[in-house]
Amino acid sequence: MPSATGKFSFWDLANPTRFLSYSGKLLPWFIAATVITMTAGLYMAFFTAPPDYQQGETVRIMFIHVPSAWLAMMAYSIMTLSSIGRLVWKHPLADVSAKAAAPIGAIFTLCALITGSLWGKPMWGTWWVWDARLTSFLLLFIVYLGLVALWRTIEDPLKAGHAAAIMTLVGSVNIPIIKYSVVWWNTLHQPPGALRITGSSVDSSILIPLLTMAVAFSLLFLVLHAMAMRNEIKRRRIRTLHLSQAQTATGSVTSHTLSSAEQN
Protein backbone atom coordinates (compact mmCIF):
# COMPACT_ATOMS: atom_id res chain seq x y z
CA MET A 1 0.00 0.00 0.00
CA PRO A 2 1.24 3.54 -0.73
CA SER A 3 1.86 6.09 1.99
CA ALA A 4 -0.85 8.25 3.56
CA THR A 5 -0.35 10.92 0.89
CA GLY A 6 -1.32 8.42 -1.79
CA LYS A 7 2.14 8.47 -3.34
CA PHE A 8 4.73 5.72 -3.28
CA SER A 9 7.83 6.52 -1.22
CA PHE A 10 11.06 4.78 -0.32
CA TRP A 11 9.80 4.25 3.23
CA ASP A 12 6.95 2.11 1.92
CA LEU A 13 9.59 -0.56 1.36
CA ALA A 14 10.49 -0.46 5.06
CA ASN A 15 7.71 -2.96 5.61
CA PRO A 16 9.08 -6.43 4.82
CA THR A 17 5.71 -7.59 3.49
CA ARG A 18 5.56 -4.67 1.05
CA PHE A 19 9.14 -5.28 0.00
CA LEU A 20 8.35 -8.93 -0.74
CA SER A 21 5.33 -7.86 -2.76
CA TYR A 22 7.04 -5.15 -4.81
CA SER A 23 10.25 -7.12 -5.40
CA GLY A 24 8.29 -10.20 -6.41
CA LYS A 25 6.59 -8.21 -9.15
CA LEU A 26 9.75 -6.45 -10.37
CA LEU A 27 12.23 -9.34 -10.22
CA PRO A 28 11.10 -11.07 -13.46
CA TRP A 29 11.59 -7.81 -15.36
CA PHE A 30 15.02 -7.22 -13.87
CA ILE A 31 16.04 -10.82 -14.59
CA ALA A 32 14.98 -10.42 -18.23
CA ALA A 33 16.87 -7.11 -18.49
CA THR A 34 19.94 -8.75 -16.96
CA VAL A 35 19.92 -11.64 -19.43
CA ILE A 36 19.45 -9.33 -22.43
CA THR A 37 22.08 -6.81 -21.34
CA MET A 38 24.60 -9.47 -20.33
CA THR A 39 24.17 -11.29 -23.65
CA ALA A 40 24.65 -8.07 -25.61
CA GLY A 41 27.64 -7.06 -23.50
CA LEU A 42 29.40 -10.40 -23.81
CA TYR A 43 28.81 -10.46 -27.56
CA MET A 44 30.27 -6.99 -28.03
CA ALA A 45 33.15 -7.69 -25.64
CA PHE A 46 34.31 -10.91 -27.28
CA PHE A 47 33.20 -10.55 -30.90
CA THR A 48 32.91 -6.90 -31.94
CA ALA A 49 35.46 -5.10 -29.74
CA PRO A 50 38.85 -4.98 -31.50
CA PRO A 51 42.08 -6.25 -29.90
CA ASP A 52 44.20 -3.57 -28.26
CA TYR A 53 47.27 -2.50 -30.24
CA GLN A 54 49.46 -3.10 -27.17
CA GLN A 55 47.60 -5.70 -25.10
CA GLY A 56 46.16 -7.75 -27.93
CA GLU A 57 43.36 -10.18 -27.05
CA THR A 58 44.13 -9.99 -23.32
CA VAL A 59 42.33 -6.64 -23.22
CA ARG A 60 39.05 -8.60 -23.24
CA ILE A 61 39.69 -9.53 -19.60
CA MET A 62 38.93 -5.89 -18.87
CA PHE A 63 35.26 -6.39 -19.73
CA ILE A 64 34.94 -8.72 -16.73
CA HIS A 65 37.58 -7.24 -14.44
CA VAL A 66 36.50 -3.58 -14.49
CA PRO A 67 32.74 -4.14 -13.89
CA SER A 68 33.59 -6.62 -11.13
CA ALA A 69 35.79 -4.03 -9.43
CA TRP A 70 33.11 -1.36 -9.79
CA LEU A 71 30.46 -3.65 -8.32
CA ALA A 72 32.74 -4.72 -5.47
CA MET A 73 32.98 -1.09 -4.35
CA MET A 74 29.33 -0.35 -5.11
CA ALA A 75 28.20 -3.28 -2.98
CA TYR A 76 30.25 -2.03 -0.05
CA SER A 77 28.89 1.49 -0.55
CA ILE A 78 25.36 0.08 -0.36
CA MET A 79 26.33 -1.78 2.81
CA THR A 80 27.70 1.47 4.25
CA LEU A 81 24.44 3.32 3.55
CA SER A 82 22.48 0.39 4.97
CA SER A 83 24.62 0.47 8.11
CA ILE A 84 23.90 4.18 8.57
CA GLY A 85 20.21 3.43 8.12
CA ARG A 86 20.49 0.69 10.73
CA LEU A 87 22.31 2.78 13.35
CA VAL A 88 20.67 6.18 12.77
CA TRP A 89 17.15 5.58 11.48
CA LYS A 90 16.61 1.99 12.65
CA HIS A 91 15.31 1.10 9.18
CA PRO A 92 13.74 -2.38 9.45
CA LEU A 93 15.37 -3.65 6.27
CA ALA A 94 18.74 -1.91 6.60
CA ASP A 95 20.61 -4.81 8.17
CA VAL A 96 18.79 -7.21 5.86
CA SER A 97 20.21 -5.25 2.91
CA ALA A 98 23.70 -5.17 4.41
CA LYS A 99 23.74 -8.88 5.19
CA ALA A 100 22.43 -9.78 1.71
CA ALA A 101 25.04 -7.60 -0.02
CA ALA A 102 28.09 -8.92 1.87
CA PRO A 103 28.57 -12.33 0.18
CA ILE A 104 27.67 -10.89 -3.23
CA GLY A 105 30.23 -8.13 -2.80
CA ALA A 106 32.81 -10.70 -1.72
CA ILE A 107 32.23 -12.71 -4.91
CA PHE A 108 32.62 -9.63 -7.13
CA THR A 109 35.79 -8.69 -5.23
CA LEU A 110 37.24 -12.18 -5.67
CA CYS A 111 36.35 -12.08 -9.36
CA ALA A 112 38.14 -8.74 -9.72
CA LEU A 113 41.23 -10.07 -7.93
CA ILE A 114 41.39 -13.23 -10.07
CA THR A 115 40.80 -11.48 -13.40
CA GLY A 116 43.23 -8.75 -12.35
CA SER A 117 45.93 -11.36 -11.79
CA LEU A 118 45.17 -13.01 -15.14
CA TRP A 119 45.39 -9.61 -16.82
CA GLY A 120 48.45 -8.52 -14.89
CA LYS A 121 50.60 -11.53 -15.76
CA PRO A 122 50.99 -10.77 -19.50
CA MET A 123 50.97 -6.99 -18.96
CA TRP A 124 53.23 -6.62 -15.92
CA GLY A 125 55.05 -9.95 -16.02
CA THR A 126 53.76 -10.96 -12.58
CA TRP A 127 50.57 -12.29 -11.04
CA TRP A 128 50.66 -9.95 -8.06
CA VAL A 129 52.41 -6.85 -6.75
CA TRP A 130 51.89 -5.18 -3.39
CA ASP A 131 50.97 -1.79 -4.76
CA ALA A 132 48.34 0.48 -3.22
CA ARG A 133 45.43 -0.53 -5.47
CA LEU A 134 45.91 -4.30 -5.19
CA THR A 135 46.67 -4.24 -1.47
CA SER A 136 43.64 -2.08 -0.61
CA PHE A 137 41.43 -4.26 -2.80
CA LEU A 138 42.70 -7.41 -1.08
CA LEU A 139 41.89 -5.72 2.24
CA LEU A 140 38.35 -5.12 0.94
CA PHE A 141 37.97 -8.85 0.27
CA ILE A 142 39.20 -9.66 3.80
CA VAL A 143 36.71 -7.19 5.29
CA TYR A 144 33.91 -8.81 3.27
CA LEU A 145 34.88 -12.24 4.61
CA GLY A 146 35.00 -10.84 8.14
CA LEU A 147 31.50 -9.42 7.82
CA VAL A 148 30.11 -12.66 6.43
CA ALA A 149 31.72 -14.55 9.32
CA LEU A 150 30.34 -12.04 11.82
CA TRP A 151 26.81 -12.50 10.51
CA ARG A 152 27.16 -16.26 10.82
CA THR A 153 28.73 -16.16 14.28
CA ILE A 154 26.09 -14.09 16.09
CA GLU A 155 22.76 -15.89 16.09
CA ASP A 156 20.54 -12.95 17.08
CA PRO A 157 19.93 -10.91 13.88
CA LEU A 158 19.54 -7.63 15.81
CA LYS A 159 22.83 -8.01 17.66
CA ALA A 160 24.57 -9.21 14.51
CA GLY A 161 23.19 -6.27 12.53
CA HIS A 162 24.43 -3.75 15.09
CA ALA A 163 27.93 -5.25 15.26
CA ALA A 164 28.16 -5.64 11.49
CA ALA A 165 27.01 -2.04 10.93
CA ILE A 166 29.83 -0.70 13.12
CA MET A 167 32.40 -2.93 11.40
CA THR A 168 31.10 -1.88 7.98
CA LEU A 169 31.43 1.82 8.76
CA VAL A 170 34.98 1.30 10.00
CA GLY A 171 35.86 -0.60 6.82
CA SER A 172 34.28 2.07 4.60
CA VAL A 173 37.45 4.14 5.02
CA ASN A 174 39.04 1.75 2.53
CA ILE A 175 36.67 2.66 -0.32
CA PRO A 176 38.10 6.13 -1.09
CA ILE A 177 41.59 4.66 -0.68
CA ILE A 178 40.81 2.12 -3.41
CA LYS A 179 39.23 4.77 -5.58
CA TYR A 180 42.05 7.32 -5.42
CA SER A 181 45.03 5.01 -4.84
CA VAL A 182 46.14 5.39 -8.47
CA VAL A 183 46.11 9.17 -8.02
CA TRP A 184 47.70 9.40 -4.58
CA TRP A 185 50.48 6.86 -5.12
CA ASN A 186 52.64 5.56 -7.93
CA THR A 187 51.08 2.20 -8.88
CA LEU A 188 51.11 -0.12 -11.86
CA HIS A 189 47.46 0.70 -12.51
CA GLN A 190 46.74 3.38 -15.03
CA PRO A 191 44.76 6.47 -13.89
CA PRO A 192 40.97 6.36 -14.37
CA GLY A 193 40.10 7.04 -17.98
CA ALA A 194 36.77 5.40 -18.82
CA LEU A 195 34.57 8.00 -17.13
CA ARG A 196 35.94 11.48 -16.59
CA ILE A 197 34.38 14.95 -16.50
CA THR A 198 36.66 16.03 -19.32
CA GLY A 199 35.61 13.05 -21.41
CA SER A 200 36.64 9.45 -21.79
CA SER A 201 40.11 8.55 -23.01
CA VAL A 202 38.84 5.13 -24.14
CA ASP A 203 37.80 4.61 -27.74
CA SER A 204 34.09 4.03 -28.28
CA SER A 205 34.74 0.54 -29.70
CA ILE A 206 35.97 -0.41 -26.23
CA LEU A 207 33.94 2.01 -24.12
CA ILE A 208 30.48 0.94 -25.33
CA PRO A 209 31.00 -2.79 -24.57
CA LEU A 210 32.59 -1.87 -21.25
CA LEU A 211 29.67 0.32 -20.19
CA THR A 212 27.21 -2.32 -21.41
CA MET A 213 28.92 -4.92 -19.24
CA ALA A 214 28.87 -2.47 -16.32
CA VAL A 215 25.11 -2.08 -16.70
CA ALA A 216 24.69 -5.86 -17.01
CA PHE A 217 26.75 -6.48 -13.85
CA SER A 218 24.77 -3.80 -12.01
CA LEU A 219 21.49 -5.43 -12.97
CA LEU A 220 22.90 -8.81 -11.93
CA PHE A 221 23.81 -7.37 -8.54
CA LEU A 222 20.32 -5.88 -8.10
CA VAL A 223 18.72 -9.23 -8.93
CA LEU A 224 20.98 -11.20 -6.60
CA HIS A 225 20.63 -8.61 -3.85
CA ALA A 226 16.84 -8.55 -4.04
CA MET A 227 16.66 -12.35 -4.05
CA ALA A 228 19.03 -12.57 -1.08
CA MET A 229 16.99 -9.99 0.83
CA ARG A 230 13.80 -11.92 0.15
CA ASN A 231 15.43 -15.12 1.42
CA GLU A 232 16.72 -13.34 4.53
CA ILE A 233 13.28 -11.91 5.35
CA LYS A 234 11.72 -15.36 5.02
CA ARG A 235 14.54 -16.90 7.07
CA ARG A 236 13.93 -14.43 9.89
CA ARG A 237 10.21 -15.09 9.81
CA ILE A 238 10.84 -18.82 10.10
CA ARG A 239 13.25 -18.18 12.98
CA THR A 240 10.67 -16.02 14.76
CA LEU A 241 8.03 -18.70 14.25
CA HIS A 242 10.31 -21.40 15.67
CA LEU A 243 11.17 -19.24 18.69
CA SER A 244 7.49 -18.53 19.27
CA GLN A 245 6.65 -22.23 19.07
CA ALA A 246 9.51 -23.07 21.43
CA GLN A 247 8.36 -20.47 23.95
CA THR A 248 4.78 -21.74 23.72
CA ALA A 249 5.94 -25.31 24.26
CA THR A 250 8.12 -24.26 27.20
CA GLY A 251 5.23 -22.35 28.71
CA SER A 252 2.91 -25.32 28.32
CA VAL A 253 5.42 -27.64 29.99
CA THR A 254 5.94 -25.16 32.83
CA SER A 255 2.19 -24.76 33.37
CA HIS A 256 1.70 -28.51 33.35
CA THR A 257 4.52 -28.96 35.86
CA LEU A 258 3.09 -26.31 38.20
CA SER A 259 -0.40 -27.83 37.96
CA SER A 260 0.99 -31.25 38.82
CA ALA A 261 2.91 -29.81 41.74
CA GLU A 262 -0.20 -28.06 43.07
CA GLN A 263 -2.25 -31.26 42.82
CA ASN A 264 0.39 -33.15 44.74
Q: 93-137, pLDDT tens digit by residue?
A: 998 999 999 999 999 999 999 999 998 888 888 888 888 888 999
pLDDT tens, residue by residue, 31-65: 999 999 999 999 999 998 888 777 778 889 999 99
> Could you state, in order of their start, the residue ranges of all structural domains in the chain?
26-48+60-186+204-244
Which letter, b or e, does each residue of 78-117 get, where b requires 16 or more Cβ atoms within 10 Å of its Cβ?
bbbbbbbbbbeeebbbbbbbbbbbbbbbbbbbebbbebbb
| Interatomic CA distance for residues 228 and 222, integer angstroms | 10
Average pLDDT over residues 215-239: 94
Nearest alpha carbon to residue 45 among 202, 209, 207: 209
Q: What is the pTM of this model?
A: 0.85
Identity of residue 254: T
Angle ∠(34,219,29) on CA atoms, nearest 5: 55
**Least confidently predicted of 159-163, 232-236, 242-246, 257-261:** 257-261
Q: For residue 211, is pLDDT > 90? A: yes
